[in-house]
Structure formats: C-alpha cells, structure tokens
Structure 1
Amino acid sequence: MSLDTVVEDIRDEARARADETREAGEERADEIVSEAERDAEEIVSDAEREVERAIEQEREQELSGAKLEAKQARLEARREILEEVHDDVEAQIESLEGDEREELTRSLLDAAAEEFDAESVRVRGAEGDAELLESIVADYDGFEVGEPIDCLGGIVVESDESRVRVNNTFDSVLEDVWEENLREISARLFEE
C-alpha cells in the first residue's frame, strides 16, 4: 500500500467523520430549533392566555364598576324622591288649619298630659299656634303656654318640677311614622 493510498484512506475516513459530525450537528441543531419553536409557541400561548385573562378581569372590573355606579345613581335618585315626598308631607302638615289642626293639637296634648302630675306645666308650640294653644290649654289646670318653638305644629310639654318633657310636635310624630314605615313607603313608591 502506498503512502498516497494511506493518505487517501485517512482523508476519506476524515471526510466520512466530518460528514457524520455535520449530520449529527445538523440533527442536533434541528432538534434545538424544534425545541425552541415549541417553547416559543408555548410562551406565546401562555402569553395569549394571560392577556385574555387580564382582558376578562379588566372587563369584569369595568362591568362591576358600572353596575356599582348605576346602583349608586339609582339609590341617590330614590333618596331624592323620598326627600321630596317627606318635604311634601311636611308642607301638608304645616298647612293644616282650623278644626283639623285644633283636633290634632288637642289629642297630642291629651296624650302628653297623662305624663304630668305637676302643678306647673308649660305647653310650647309653633309661634303661629299661640292663640290655638291658649284656647286648648285653658281646659287644663296648672298648664300654661310657654315660649314658642320652631316646629310644624303640635306641642312640647315640660315641667321643671318633675323634669319630664314630652315632645308631641307634628315634626316628631312625622319622623316616628316616617321611620316606622319607610320600608313600606319605599316599596310603594318604587314598586318593589
């Protein structure tokens, strides 16, 4: 075997090994690229899911916020309507006149008078009811009309001797009735 033949065999063997190494390298490179592509697809898919979750969460928050705003606006409108109704009732009560006003005032004083055994009792009421109170109080022994108070009508009865004070003003009666019946009033107004 000649030297040229040996060199040629070595070259052929080196080329074969180089081809094998290149093929193995290319296969490994293809595997790495495939893995990288799979990883990239998974990363993109995860990112898309995360974005969709974030969008859905944002949408839910916006929807929840909008519902809360609408509920608050509805409650504010109801509160305003209830205030208007309350104001209308106050105006109607304040405008009571004649026999009806006298009858209501007398019944409130009758109810309050039961609380007093004192000899000196003051009956106070709205400034515009001074004459009415004078005529009603004349029927009660030991009762006198005191200084006027700021109210829609009715009476406040006081005695220094017994330290008892009964507030039977139209205002206090209205507030008691209003509070006791607010749920029913609201249900009727808003058809709940």
Structure 2
Amino acid sequence: MALDKVANDILENARKEADQRIQEAEKERAKILQDADQRIEKMRKAEEKDLQDGLMRMRRQELSSGELEAKKIVLNKRKDILNRTFDEMLKELSSMAPKEKSDLYKKIMADGKKTIHRPKVFIPKGEADLLAGLRGCESLTEIDMGSGLILENEDGSVRLDYRFKTILESIWDRDMKNISNTLFE
C-alpha cells in the first residue's frame, strides 16, 4: 500500500504541477492574446486614420480641381464676352454714317499732319469720297483694308496706322483691366 500511496502522491503532485503549468500557460496565452488585440487595435486605428487622411486629401483635391475648373469656365466665358464686345465695337465704328466717318477721317488727318507734313494717305476701297476736297496730302490711294486711314511719309520710312482696328486694339490692350471691371463687376 505504501507503494500505492507513493504512486498516488506522485500522480497528485504531477496533476497539481500540470494544473499549475496549464494555468500559467493560460495566463501567458491570455496575455499574448491581449497584447495581440492591443496591437491589432492600434494598427486598425492607424489604418483608419490613414484612410480618413487620404479621403480628406482626395476631397480637398477634388474641391480644388472643381474650383479651378469653375474659374477656367468663367474666364473663358469672360474672354468670349470681351472678344464679342471688341468685334461689336469694331463693327459699329466701321459702319458709322458717312458724314461721321468723314469728320473722323478729317480729324485723323489733322492729327497725322502734325507728324507727317504732306502724307501719302491710304484709305479703304470705296471711301475716297469721304476725303473729297482734302488738301495737304501727297496722294490719296484706295486699298483693300479695314476702316480707318494709314498715313505715310514720302519715302515710306514713317507710317502712322490709324485703322479703327489698330486704334481699338491699342485702347483695348491699354485699358483691358478697366474694361473687364466695367463689364464684370
């Protein structure tokens, strides 16, 4: 019986030690799982933050891109309006009544003679009558050109371009900001 008791004691001690090791292993397993869960949660939060940051970045980029596209559309529309306005002004100047155009041509001639004493005058075809009786010019030649006058000195070294389109372009370029502000604000 003593042998049975010794065997039972050994078995009992082995069971206790096995139970203790199992409990320690369970504690270790629980700690490892808890650490793993914490790391997984930390990684999940980091990934979620990266995702949110990426989404915010994409939203800002899309918004910025949309705003840029809207500005581009507005600028193109403004440019179209300015171009149409320029064309309409030029058309209006070119189609003014003959009396008004004749008076304007005479003023241009008076101004041009301050620079070129006896200019050669180039005028659009069909408009020579508007300067009928004009004195103080070398010659009056009708050429294929837009409304207005071109004055040239005798040897052709000095040329004054008073075509309506040239004058309007000069004013347009010089005062573009004011013209744009007047039309759009």
* 1:87 match: secondary structure: helix
Identity of aligned residues (%): 28
* 1:146 match: secondary structure: strand
* 2:126 match: secondary structure: helix
Name whichever of 22-31 and 108-117 sits farther off. 108-117
Offset at residue 162 of structure 1 (A): 5.5
Structure 2 distance, partners of 1:58, 1:162, is 63
Q: Which amino acid aligns with 1:144?
A: S
Aligned residue for 1:139? 135
Aligned length: 185
TM-score after normalising by structure 2: 0.90
Structure 1 distance, partners of 2:22, 2:154, is 115
TM-score after normalising by structure 1: 0.87
Unaligned runs of 5+ in 1: none
Q: Which amino acid aligns with 1:116?
A: I
Structure 1 distance, partners of 2:165, 2:126, is 15
* 1:128 match: secondary structure: coil
Residue by residue over 1:38-81, the C-alpha shift from the partner in whole angstroms, topping out at 9 and shown as x without a partner, is 11111211111111111111111111111111111111111111
Q: Does 1:129 align with 2:127?
A: yes
Say what the alpha-carbon RMSD is for the aligned residues.
1.9
Unaligned runs of 5+ in 2: none
Alignment of 1:1-192 (within 5 A): 2-116=2-116, 121-133=119-131, 135=132, 138-141=134-137, 143-151=138-146, 153-159=147-153, 161=155, 163-191=157-185
Structure 1 distance, partners of 2:144, 2:106, is 17
